[in-house]
Structure 1
Amino acid sequence: MSMICLGTNNRSDDFRFDTSNTDWKPFVTDGCFYRILDVNVPARTAEMLIKFEPNGRCLYHRHAAAVKTLVLEGDLHLYEPTPNGEVHTIKPAGSFSMGAGGEVHIEGAEEKPVIVYFSMASETDVIYELLDRNLNLKRAITVQDFDADWKKWHVVETASPIRQAG
């Protein structure tokens, strides 16, 4: 995965997005929330925001899709298992990353909240795979899963300022 940092410093506490009106939904684990921004089933793409509360982390997972991320607020912490232990990487606010998928990792926050934009594009219907502690497949998450969640959100919203027709 390649990464660049936008801006002239790596201070993650310089900027805050106003997410007070964002309709966050619980996502996978305690302290982890998401907001779907767009899903395109024929194109096999999904875009979302993820918010981690302090010390919130997701589960081990593997992206099957190509992924682009932009850390909008806070420091995103990645933990990748290796034969010699875990590799810990910190991506500060403004970090933009692109990856082809396949890496197993956990993402999350430490002492401060984190908000990350994810754009995922897959060659198959599978966007990512949830793994157990032994890194065995628990469940494949598909673009259809994202679409079903999006439709539940869309029923509640009469006019979404984020979703565009098409």
Structure 2
Amino acid sequence: MTTLPFDTQNIHWNTLEGLAHVAYHICAVDEEKRIVDILFKFDANSQIALHRHGAAYITLVLQGELRIYRANGELKEVRPVGSYVSTLAGGEPHREGGGDQDVIAFFSNRNVDGPIYEILDDDLNIIAVFGIPEFKALWEAQPTTTIKAAE
């Protein structure tokens, strides 16, 4: 089911080479509180890289439906727009993606103490790690968007 579009006119979407079907916008990196907040946009009818979460996180689906797939490709869960889920660190390796429209979801990574995401190959070998230092560097390099104040 198509949902109302989330207005992203003031959001600059970023991508990383080698990570297909996903764009991100880092909202905040707070080293002291150990929090990294990110908006993700997952392509419709696609799956992102296999990964594992190393920090507790909260998700809020803002547009579309977030589909979660097991490592073998089996659909595990569908979170419709408005879904708010709080999850502990760990869990099984999985992929995420959108349903019939691009999905936009807010991820708030909490109590970060090490890797936030471990990107895996199909044999579950770690091929990339993203923690606070990596997200802080991406956040600092991220273009800023100027929002005009109401007149």
Q: Per the shorter chain, which TM-score range?
A: 0.7 to 0.9
Deviation digits for residues 103-148 of structure 1, max 9, x if unmatched?
Answer: 2110001321100000001341321111111112112211110000
Identity %: 34
What's the C-alpha RMSD, in Å, of the aligned pairs? 2.2
Q: Which moved more, 1:20-29 or 1:132-141?
A: 20-29
Structure 1 runs (4+) deviating above 4 angstroms are 158-161
The answer to whether the Cα contact below 8 Å between 2:112 and 2:132 also exists between their aligned partners in 1 is: no
The answer to whether the Cα contact below 8 Å between 1:35 and 1:50 also exists between their aligned partners in 2 is: yes
Task: Kindly indicate whether residue 92 of structure 2 is the aligned counterpart of residue 92 of structure 1.
Answer: no
Structure-1 separation of matches of 2:2 and 2:84? 14
The answer to whether the Cα contact below 8 Å between 1:30 and 1:56 also exists between their aligned partners in 2 is: no
> Per the alignment, in what secondary structure is the counterpart of residue 81 of structure 2?
coil
In structure 2, the gaps of 5 or more residues are none
TM-score between both structures, scaled by the size of structure 1:
0.78
Deviation digits for residues 68-123 of structure 1, max 9, x if unmatched?
Answer: 000000011000237xx734211100111111121211000132110000000134
**Higher strand share goes to which structure?**
1
Aligned length: 146
TM-score between both structures, scaled by the size of structure 2:
0.85
Structure-2 separation of matches of 1:123 and 1:75? 26
Instruction: Return the offset for 1:12.
Output: 5.2
